[in-house]
Structure 1
Amino acid sequence: MLRNREFRQFAILFSFIAAAAVALGFAIHTAAGILAIASSAAFGTAFFAFTKARYTSIAQISDQIDLVLHNADHLYIGESDEGELSILHSEITKMTLRIREQNDALKKEKEHLADSLADIAHQLRTPLTSVNLILSLLENNPDENDRKAFVRETEELLVQMDWLLTSLLKLSRLDAGIVVFQSEQIDVDNLIRAALRPFLIPMELHDIDLQIDAPKGMMIQGDSGWLAEAIQNILKNCIESAGDNGRIAIACKDNPLYTEIAIHDSGAGFEKEDLPYLFDRFYRGKNPNATGYGIGLALCKMIITRQGGTITAKNHPQGGANFAIRFPK
């Protein structure tokens, strides 16, 4: 305690006052001097004990804060009696717990980043390996038809890699919060047809039947470009699931609470154990033969939720997958 300048100054001042009081007491009467000595000793002892207890509590708080700064796994600060020290105790406890939560969040974020980088490397390595293999086959294969087939396959792989890199870039921009969504009135029928435009030829080639039920004049609020991108990711998933001679139905409805866009395909639907994780980034399902990169639906959900909407996926009672996008009024 004597290291504290204020405490030293108080001790010196108290000693002068106590000496003066004792001297004055003895000048008046011997009994008064003895009483002054006893009073000074009692007051000094009480003050010393009280101050030492406060310094002990402060030292305990300091030790706990030091543990937090050194990433201790456990944190405990005992309760104090009512008073200013108790208030300080409480506020420091809140601060240290908040620091602990932030440290845990940063740790999880680092782990998530490391996992994401590993997933991205794996996703890119697969098509790159295939391209390298095809190039080696091209070099050693003189047959012109085989060479053309290899070139087409290489082009498809490069298109997949371009889509993958573009989607990863969009995800990173959304994660960083640098995407500014426009807020405008969007005609739902026009939005759906704009999203369908890139898939019309592939759907015709695979003889996929398309049904659209979107009443005229149905409007939602959002960014038409990004929402079309989200719907395209769902349609891409549905087209792959429906396959040749499949069917895709898009139905829209409006009520006082929300506007809904439901997309249903005639594919095999989802495995029960996959349903909770469909929109998780890089999740490709339990099926080892599953195609895709596990990015499209994650990107879709992020786009929709950032604009105030919700998206759910489940198996349709008549079979196949059913996606429901809702925008509250």
Structure 2
Amino acid sequence: MNSIRSRLSVFLLLAAMLTALGTGVVTYRQTLAENEELFDYQLRQIALSLRNQGLVVNSYADSNDETLEVVVQIWTVSGTMLYLSNPGDPIFDRATIGFTDVNANNRRWRVFSLAARDRIIQVAQPLELRRDLAATAALRGLAPLLAFAPLMALLIWWLVGSSLSPLKRLATEVGQRDARILDEVSVAGLPDEIAPLVQALNSLLIRLKRAFANQRAFVADAAHELRSPLTALKLQLQLLARAPDDAAKADALAKLHEGVDRATHLIEQLLVAAQTAPNDTVAQLESTDLSELVRQSIADVFSLAQTRRITLEANAPEHLQLSIDPARIRILVRNLLDNAIRYGRDDGSVHVQLSNDHDRVLLVIEDDGPGIDAHDRERIFDRFYRGPAQQQSGSGLGLSIVKNIVEQHGARIELEPSRLGGLKVTIFFAHRTSESDFRK
């Protein structure tokens, strides 16, 4: 039974019937007690009404009906029977003044005895008769509830269905949407219990809408950026085919290699940018030796630095454990080093410093290149943006990738002039040694 409506209807009906059963038990007990009091009162009143009656010697009632509700016996003080309402009923041979329960003739009797002048008056009633009358009265009280049980079941079914109708409307509204319709779902008229679910759904829709918008913009930008290097490659192939001599062919071939390298670098950066795009999966954090990771990243770009005779200097502790995504942080460090080398001076230097400042870890990379103007420092993180003063070839994706990875780690990045004359990039990591610390 997976239907919420069926489940609620059955459970509510069972609860109502259990309540009715409990009410019936309580009503039965209360009715029985009240009838016991009422029957005792009747027995006492009958006995009191007979205390002033005249003497009837050896008189018996004409009726021999065994279903009589009350049996009356009157005795003299000496033990002579004066009156017996039904000869078929047992004669109580003793009298206890007041109320008492007596067994006679395989039946249990409720007896009231009264001493009045020279006689003893006994009025008795079968206990099972009293209880049957009480049960009948209780059942009469429960009869309307039992009669209305089917109506109650239908009412519960309708009420549950009416209460769940907003869910059906919500399912219909969401089911009619596709990837192009990611507007928020209206919470108007929804119960308070469903509103948090719809708010969470709206939050997801907002993130999906932003992710799809970023994806479309990324694809459009990537297509635009790829068009130029591919066109250049095509022209260089044509120049190679038309080269008149070996020297011209060698020059055209060298330029073709450079074009292929630029296109390869751009495609690699595009792939990395797609993997580290905002709203993507969260970083897979694990305790990592950040010092070792920085050394590996320096080794990755060492050959590029040698081509420009740039010195790479590193100042880092031997070991520094930090909860990070090692693959993405390696991409981050490699991109920062690649930018510093590409835009630094020939025969210059790039300085890397890693330090542990109690509650945070600082990664600082400085170069001696042209730096970035203050008004360009915010835009430099946009995809495919390159400052107007930049002369080196590049994809314009490096710092965008860095910014995405920084945000995924809950870190912070700052750009400022370097003491070497170029750009100083500082990344502030919160000092966490485990993934649980990151999530706090």
TM-score, normalised to structure 2's length?
0.49
Corresponding residue for residue 399 of structure 2: 297
Matched, 1:172 2:278: no
Find the partner of 2:408 among 306, 310, 319.
306
The aligned residue for residue 145 of structure 1 is 247
Q: Distance in 2 between matches of 1:265 and 1:249?
A: 7
Q: Secondary structure at the match of 2:314?
A: strand
Q: RMSD of the alignment, in Å?
A: 3.9
CA contact (8 A) 1:309 1:328 kept: yes
Select which of 85, 99, 118 maps to 2:220.
Answer: 118
Shift of residue 180, structure 1, vs aligned partner: 6.0
- Mapped pair 1:327 → 2:429: yes
Amino acid at match of 2:286: S
> Please, which moves more after superposition, 141-150 or 247-256?
141-150
Q: Does 1:181 align with 2:312?
A: no
SS in 2 for 1:278: helix
Task: Say which of 251, 272, 278 aligns to 2:374.
Answer: 272
Matched residue SS, 1:184: strand
Greater strand proportion: 2
Aligned partners of 1:214 and 1:253 also within 8 Å = yes
Report the Cα offset of residue 278 of structure 1: 2.2
1:246-257 aligned within 5 A: 246-257=348-359
Larger radius of gyration: 2
Paired residue for 1:215? 317
Amino acid at match of 2:220: A
The alpha carbon displacement at 1:284 in A equals 1.9
Between 1:225-234 and 1:146-155, the stretch displaced more is 146-155
Cα deviation, 1:245-301, whole Å, max 9, x if unaligned, reads: 222111222111111110000111101211112222222234475632221111122
Query: Which consecutive unaligned segments of at least 5 residues does structure 2 have?
Result: 1-168, 432-440
Which range moves more in the overlay, 244-253 or 283-292?
A: 283-292
TM-score, with length taken from structure 1: 0.64
**C-alpha offsets along residues 108-166 of structure 1, whole Å, 9 cap, x if unaligned?**
65554433222111111111111111111111113212212222222222222223223
Letter in 1 for 2:359: L
The number of aligned residues is: 261
Report matched runs for 1:1-329 at 5 Å.
111-175=213-277, 177-178=280-281, 181-188=284-291, 190-287=292-389, 291-317=393-419, 319-329=421-431
Partners of 2:210 and 2:288 in 1: CA distance? 39
Q: 1:167-212: CA deviations, max 9, x gaps?
A: 2223323347357635132141x22221111322332232213221
Contact 1:181–1:307 (8 Å) recurs in 2? no
Tell me the residue number matched to 2:165: none
CA distance in 2, matches of 1:204, 1:105: 44
Q: Deviations over 1:5-33 (max 9, x none)?
A: xxxxxxxxxxxxxxxxxxxxxxxxxxxxx
- Output the CA distance in 1 between the equivalents of 2:201 and 2:306: 57
Preserved contact between residue 284 and residue 291 of structure 1 (Cα < 8 Å): no
Contact 2:417 2:423 (8 Å CA) reproduced:
yes
